[in-house]
Amino acid sequence: MLTYSSSGVNIEAGDKTVDAIKPYIRRTFSPAVLTDIGLFGGLYDGRFPELEHPVLVASTDGVGTKLKIAFMTGIHGTVGQDLVNHCVNDILACGAKPLFFLDYFATGALKPDIAAEVIKGLALACEQNGCALIGGETAEMPSMYAVGEYDMAGTIVGVVDKPKILPHKTLAKGDILIGLASTGLHTNGYSLARAALFPKYDVNQHIDELGGTLGEALLAVHRSYANLLLPLIDKGNIKALSHITGGGIVGNTKRIVPEGLELHIDWSSWTIPPIFSIIQQAGSIIDEEMRKAFNLGIGMIIAVAPEHVDEMMQACASEKPIIIGSLK
């Protein structure tokens, strides 16, 4: 007799996963969350009395082939953090603070321990960013994925007061670009990195320049800049933010450059971290291609007027900010 279980879908494994992650998800809840885990939808109280004109900001993203590194190393607790932080940074570039997050986790054969590890990472990053994990989907789809592999995506919703939406229309010639360091590749460029590295290196190989294994360096968590930058956005001196993801520094920052202005980057103004040099040498990749695929050590760019540069550099001093360019 054919059953759902014999066809490859284990409902009990799904229930076990949910039971394992419930306490971690509940830690992300705020008083604005009006539902517990398990209903058909998540409810969030949308009153923002402190804002003059609240505007909701939404974004969806994934982690890309960074997941392949998780599969290779067996380390699954960081990719959920990557997903949340990537989405947080994307809406931060609009000036928004995160409100709530929903995730999608899909695999061919659900392994509750791995799924729980991934979702615990999601919950941890949500908690760190003040963002409620109010719902999600865990899908078991036999024959859709290779054994031991999964995919994931997330949607975030945040809010910004309309007068503080970024980028500001005041961006002008002479505005200065300040770079904040990334923790590594973040969540972009992994297809090129894997093609360059793994004919020559083992993922568990210790590399002195990295201070650990190659896999550890590649899995370094995509950092969130929200806790640092949201208070500075409120002060009003940040004109624009550029989250450096796929497309690199130029590909992303040109999105914020008004018509009639040009982006100038001083590529010699910072030291590129060793992981990128190792990738470049392993794959004999030209500089132009590296600049298109990777953040090269700069994860977020702040645009400010020249008269606010010193103040911004001091406010971000703990992050070792670097002036990397300007608008011309």
Which pLDDT does position 15 carry in this prediction? 85
Q: Is the pLDDT of residue 6 over 90?
A: no
Task: Provide mean pLDDT across the span 209-236.
Answer: 97
Which range (10-24, 77-91, 95-109) has the least confidence? 10-24
Contact by Cβ (8 Å): 218, 276: no
The pLDDT assigned to 269 comes to 98
Question: Which domains are assigned to the chain?
Answer: 11-164 (3.30.1330.10), 176-327 (3.90.650.10)
- What pLDDT is attached to residue 264? 97
Q: Please give the structure tokens belonging to residue 72.
A: 């290779």
Per-residue confidence (pLDDT) for residue 71, from 0 to 100? 98
Instruction: Identify the pLDDT of residue 14.
Output: 83
Look at the alpha carbons of 67, 87, 226, 323 in this order and tell me if their dihedral is positive or negative. Answer: positive
Residue 321, pLDDT above cutoff 90: yes
Q: Cα(262)–Cα(195) distance, rounded to whole angstroms?
A: 33
Contact 191, 65 (CB under 8 A): yes
Residue with more model confidence, 134 or 15: 134
Angle at 323 between CA 322 and CA 328, to 5 degrees: 160
The closest alpha carbon to 282, from 207, 183, 220, belongs to 207
Name which of 179, 139, 149, 137 is nearest 65 in CA terms. 149
Residue 5 has pLDDT above 90, yes or no: no
Per-residue pLDDT at 254: 95
- State mean pLDDT over 70-96: 98
13: pLDDT strictly greater than 90: no
Does pLDDT of 19 surpass 90? Answer: no
User: Helices 190-197 and 274-283 meet at what angle, rounded to 10?
Assistant: 60
Residue 99: φ, ψ to 5°: -110, -60
Tell which phi-psi region holds residue 223, choosing left (phi > 0), alpha (psi between -120 and 50) or beta: beta
Task: Give the count of beta carbons closer than 10 Å to the beta carbon of residue 265.
Answer: 18
Distance CA 178, CA 302 (A): 5
Is a pLDDT exceeding 90 seen at residue 151? Answer: yes
Checking if the pLDDT of 59 tops 90, the result is yes
C-alpha to C-alpha distance for 165 and 236, rounded to whole angstroms: 10
- The separation between CA 195 and the C-alpha centre of its own chain, rounded to angstroms, equals 22
pLDDT for 9: 87
Please report, in angstroms and rounded to a whole number, the separation of the first and last CA atoms in the chain: 72
SS3 (DSSP) at 24: helix
Q: What is the pLDDT of residue 1?
A: 82
| Residue 304 φ/ψ region, left for φ over 0, alpha for ψ in the -120 to 50 degree band, beta for the rest | beta
